[in-house]
Structure 1
């Protein structure tokens, strides 16, 4: 999510954007999206990793969890194939 926001550059319409992510964003990514006042976040699933969803609620950000079986399987396969990258990314 942070890479996505960084790559979007200097926008003036952050308050109109929607952040879409496979997983529930971690605390750092949640904080970044709150800093840029992104009003809506759509996540594919939060079973694999439940991030700081409560922070979105506290700040009035609309959070939609698609609870997608496709996203769950994608993450299951990724973790099985590359546990080293998963553990590095998730901070273990």
Structure 2
């Protein structure tokens, strides 16, 4: 499936966030939130940098959007470099985000399946840059991945 120039540009911003996280010693995962075609916020995984178990890229992008009315989120698209974990999936469901664009899928397809079950449009771009970020993360940051994913990754054998 071909993606629009706009979708590619939004994913590129998420990739830049992921790169920034990696340079800060965190996991290279980035996300952006778009409302009616306008970039609202960006986020990156900050769990290692802040010591918080909640600062995943998608959660950070949502937090950076600030307080918004419920109908706002129903008109948004969340872009993320990797498949969302259960916590981030839950936040997307909670806020009624109708579309998620994923740079590269991971073994964590539980979130994607759950989103689809609830009518959320899930789009894979199969981004080479995002796949490279995932590969770098797996080869260089395995212990940090385990910490970041908690029990979810322990059960998956990561």
Q: How would you bin the TM-score normalised by the shorter chain?
A: 0.7 to 0.9
Give the Cα separation in 1 of the matches to 2:110 and 2:135.
17
* Counterpart position of 1:17: 76
Number of residues of Structure 1 aligned to a counterpart in Structure 2: 92
Deviation at 1:77, TM superposition (A): 1.0
Given that 1:48 and 1:72 are in contact with CA atoms closer than 8 Å, whether structure 2 keeps it comes out as: no
With the length of structure 2 as denominator, give the TM-score of the two structures: 0.53
- Could you tell me which residue of structure 1 aligns to residue 123 of structure 2? 64
Distance (whole Å) between structure 1 residues aligned to residue 106 and residue 95 of structure 2: 26
Q: Tell me, in whole angstroms, the C-alpha distance in 1 between the residues paired with 2:106 and 2:124.
A: 10
- Aligned twin of 2:31: none
Residue matched to 1:8: 65
User: Which runs of 5 or more residues in structure 2 are unaligned?
Assistant: 1-57
In the other structure, the counterpart of 1:46 is 105
Aligned to 2:109, the other structure's residue is in SS state coil
When the two structures are superposed, what TM-score results if normalisation uses the length of structure 1?
0.87
Runs of 5+ unmatched residues, structure 1: none
The RMSD of aligned alpha carbons is: 1.5
Q: Is the 1:22–1:71 contact (alpha carbons within 8 Å) kept by the matching residues of 2? A: yes
Moved over 3 A (4+): none
Contact 1:47 1:72 survives alignment (8 Å): no
